[in-house]
Amino acid sequence: MDNSPSAAGDATVIRVDGLAKQYRVFDKREGLAASIRGLFHRESRVVDALRGVDLTVQRGEFVALLGPNGAGKTTFLKLLSGIITPSAGTATVLGHVPWERADAFRRRFALVMGQRNQLWWDLPAAESFRLHREIYRIEPARFTRTRDELVELLDVGGLVNRPVRELSLGERMKLELVAALLHEPEVLFLDEPTIGLDVVAQHTIHRFLRHVRTERHVTVVLTTHYMKDVAALCERLVVITRGSILYDGSLEGIVDRFTSHKIVTLDLDETPDRGRIERFGFPCEIRGPRVTLRIDRDRIADVLPGLLRDEPVRDISVEDVPLEEIVAGLFRGASAAPESGA
Amino acid sequence: MSETAARPFAGLRAWWTMLSICIEERLAYRGDFILGTAMRFLPIVTQVFLWTAVFGATARGDIAGYSRDDIVAYYLLTMVARAFSSMPGLAGGIARSVRDGSIKKYLVQPVDYVGYLLAARIAHKLVYYLVAALPFAAIFFVCRGFFPPLPDATTVAAFVLSLVLSFLLGFFMEATLGMLGFWFLEVSSVIFAYMLVQYLLSGHMFPIDMLTGIPTGIPGVSLADLVRWLPFEYTAYFPAAVWLGKVRGWALVRALAIEAGWVVAMALCCRLAWRRGTRRYSAFGG
């Protein structure tokens, strides 16, 4: 059926080596005089959106690209889907160089970017689906089966015959996902799929993407700001800041790598004395008899027995630092320098 | 690939589906469309009055070989030609999709953007003819006295061919223009300049014969000669001239061949602009 280079056998779907992208941006100074000068001479500078990124993704992986605005996530996704060409480095997706934009490649992946992407604004989504059947050359029986299944999973059966412009943000996003998956792509790129959606819609999309991944074995790379997306979907987390990969590994791994302590929450009989409690660890918060302590991970086994013995502890919980906090810390560290455009 | 072999006309089918969907989309705005079409008929009426007034004011029976009846017939025929060759919103739409990024879709999906634009434009025209056929027929009926007797079948066939070619020529010229959007953020002034040149040199404003003898500064070359070397006349003047029997025999065959040559040349320009433009787009951002 398929005789493209990376057909069956090879488990590596995405291979990226030293991928870099520079943009030339024109600076516009304030004021009329500067604007007039700009007519004759425009000052430009080069912005590094991506600085030599390496990444390998295996078939069936679900990878989240996490980073602050302007970190280079979207640039990376645009490179992988062939919209833009890199300044340096190489990449192959399903054995193809994406920016060569071969039809054989374009039939095997999908990109969902923003809300007004693939669907025709003034027509019912069913019409856009019909067009996809033709441009992706989907066999009619297969098309019907896939469409019905996707529509049912997202519970959008009642929406496919209404003009897209009349739908809500969440409804449109769901239909975008259906459109993107009709041709059963092997790789799916999602650019902030849950941005601006309510909790219920986010939840539905999470459930849907999990299904796509486990039942259809689609390799998914998504960009997001939301830890919620990451926690719900991905085992693998790639943190990008200022065009470089800061972390690439498991969700749990990031906790080990970037934090050296645990958060211990105590419910005591009475409001404790700060000096006394400081012996055990750094008190982040003392609110009445409830105390939150930061304790070095290495010391926790030594500290806890003494704590339980000396203090009137009613209840105790030991937790990792919340992921949001770790990631926010990473972003803050990175955004000390000026952001680069993406 | 085997999937292609299984469905030999897949490309054509896709294009056909695209066409039908574009027609549906046009029909979604039929109210606006009908009103817009009606408004476009207004200038026709005023032009007929204008030329009647011009001929009323001059003692001469003809201007550059055109009698009053000729000129009204000519004008109405250029309206037919322009119903084929004018491309409202095409160039601006391409430039806008570059600016707002919606062009990305055509880089990611296995579709040909120029092919899509052509389908969309044919859909646009078909719906327009559907709406405009009746008012056009009415105007021609009312003005039938201005026309010479119906030409022979060969002339009618040549006229139809010249219209089809003028559609393609107008399409590829404006599509190429729109792709300047890859280089310039704003192309509306370029489009405006193009419209102006087009209006003057296509024969839309007055028959090109009227430019004969107007010097250009180049020795021995009149403005009419210059216009003959440009493609614009094929979008308005030429089809009208064919119907009125001004171009006949071998001259007609030659002119149609030149028009076809312009279509091919502009189609190639359009392809080149798309290739270069997308390469630039990919290199500079997106």
Are B110 and A107 a contacting pair at CB < 8 A?
Answer: yes
Residue A5 pLDDT exceeds 70: no
Partner residues linked to A241 by β-bridges? A244
> pLDDT-derived band of residue B267, with 50, 70 and 90 as boundaries?
very high
Facing B21 at nearest CB: one of A1, A101, A131: A131
**More confident: A161 or A288:** A161
DSSP helix/strand/coil, A164: helix
The span from the CA of B268 to the CA of B277, in Å, is 14
Q: What is the pLDDT of residues A47-78, one digit of tens each?
A: 888 999 999 999 999 999 988 888 888 899 99
- The pLDDT value recorded for residue A148 is 94
Q: Residue A284's CB: how many other CB atoms inside 10 A?
A: 12
- Arithmetic mean of pLDDT over chain A: 86
DSSP helix/strand/coil, A19: strand
- The pLDDT value recorded for residue A10 is 66
The distance of B13 to chain A (nearest Cα, Å) reads 7
Total number of domains in chain B: 1
How many percent of chain A have pLDDT more than 70? Answer: 93
Are B282 and A118 a contacting pair at CB < 8 A?
Answer: no
Are B28 and A123 a contacting pair at CB < 8 A?
Answer: yes
**More confident: B26 or A150:** A150
- The pLDDT value recorded for residue B285 is 59
Strands A12-26 and A88-93: antiparallel
User: Which of chain A's residues have a Cβ under 8 Å away from the Cβ of B276?
Assistant: none
- The pLDDT value recorded for residue B264 is 98
- The pLDDT value recorded for residue A100 is 92
Residue A1 pLDDT exceeds 70: no
User: Which of chain A's residues have a Cβ under 8 Å away from the Cβ of B2?
Assistant: 1
- The pLDDT value recorded for residue A337 is 45
Facing A23 at nearest CB: one of B24, B109, B285: B285
For B113-173, give the secondary structure using H, E and C.
Answer: HHHHHHHHHHHHHHHHHHHHHHHHHHHHHHCHHHCCCCCCHHHHHHHHHHHHHHHHHHHHH
Partner residues linked to A287 by β-bridges? A290
Q: What is the pLDDT of residues B148-192, one digit of tens each?
A: 888 999 999 999 999 999 999 999 999 999 999 999 878 889 999
Mean pLDDT, residues B34-38: 77
Residue A150 pLDDT exceeds 90: yes
Q: What is the pLDDT of residues A180-213, one digit of tens each?
A: 999 999 999 999 888 888 888 899 999 999 999 8
The span from the CA of A59 to the CA of A14, in Å, is 8
* Top-confidence range, A291-295, B70-74, B177-181: B177-181
User: Which of chain B's residues have a Cβ under 8 Å away from the Cβ of A122?
Assistant: 25, 28-29
User: Which of chain A's residues have a Cβ under 8 Å away from the Cβ of B102?
Assistant: 116
User: Which of chain A's residues have a Cβ under 8 Å away from the Cβ of B282?
Assistant: 83-85, 99
Q: What is the DSSP string of B49-67?
A: HHHHHHHHH-S-S-BTTB-
Find the closest chain B residue to A72 by CA distance. Answer: B285
For residues A223 and A193, is the Cβ–Cβ distance under 8 A? no
DSSP helix/strand/coil, A123: coil
- The pLDDT value recorded for residue B59 is 74
> pLDDT-derived band of residue B77, with 50, 70 and 90 as boundaries?
very high
Domain with B68 in it: 2-284
> pLDDT-derived band of residue B8, with 50, 70 and 90 as boundaries?
low
Distance of CA B3 to the CA centre of its chain: 38
- The pLDDT value recorded for residue A116 is 60
Q: Which of A27-36, B158-167, B225-234, B274-283 has the lowest mean pLDDT?
A: A27-36
The span from the CA of A301 to the CA of A280, in Å, is 11
The domain defined by A12-108+185-255 carries CATH number 3.40.50.620: no
E strands, chain A, are 12-26, 44-58, 62-66, 88-93, 109-113, 187-191, 219-224, 236-241, 244-250, 261-268, 282-287, 290-296, 313-320
Mean pLDDT, residues A6-27: 79
Find the closest chain A residue to B2 by CA distance. Answer: A1
DSSP state, A234? -
Across chain B, how many H-helices and E-strands are there? 12, 0
Sole residue written with tokens 């004018």? B86
> pLDDT-derived band of residue A167, with 50, 70 and 90 as boundaries?
very high
- The pLDDT value recorded for residue A147 is 95
The domain limits of chain A are: 12-108+185-255, 260-320
- The pLDDT value recorded for residue B56 is 82
- The pLDDT value recorded for residue A194 is 86
The distance of A100 to chain B (nearest Cα, Å) reads 10
Q: Architecture of domain A260-320 in CATH?
A: 2-Layer Sandwich (3.30)
For residues B98 and A107, is the Cβ–Cβ distance under 8 A? no
Instruction: Give A74's contacts (C-beta < 8 A, 6+ positions apart).
Output: A113, A191, A223, A342
Distances (CA, A) of B89 to A22, B83, B99, B124: 34, 14, 15, 11
The span from the CA of B107 to the CA of A288, in Å, is 60
DSSP helix/strand/coil, A148: helix
**More confident: A172 or A117:** A172
Are B7 and A103 a contacting pair at CB < 8 A?
Answer: no
Distances (CA, A) of B238 to A28, B125, B151, B170, B244: 48, 20, 15, 13, 10
Instruction: Give A204's contacts (C-beta < 8 A, 6+ positions apart).
Output: A154, A155, A170, A174
Residue B7 pLDDT exceeds 60: no
Residue A327 pLDDT exceeds 90: no
Chain pair A-B, CB pairs under 8 angstroms: 80
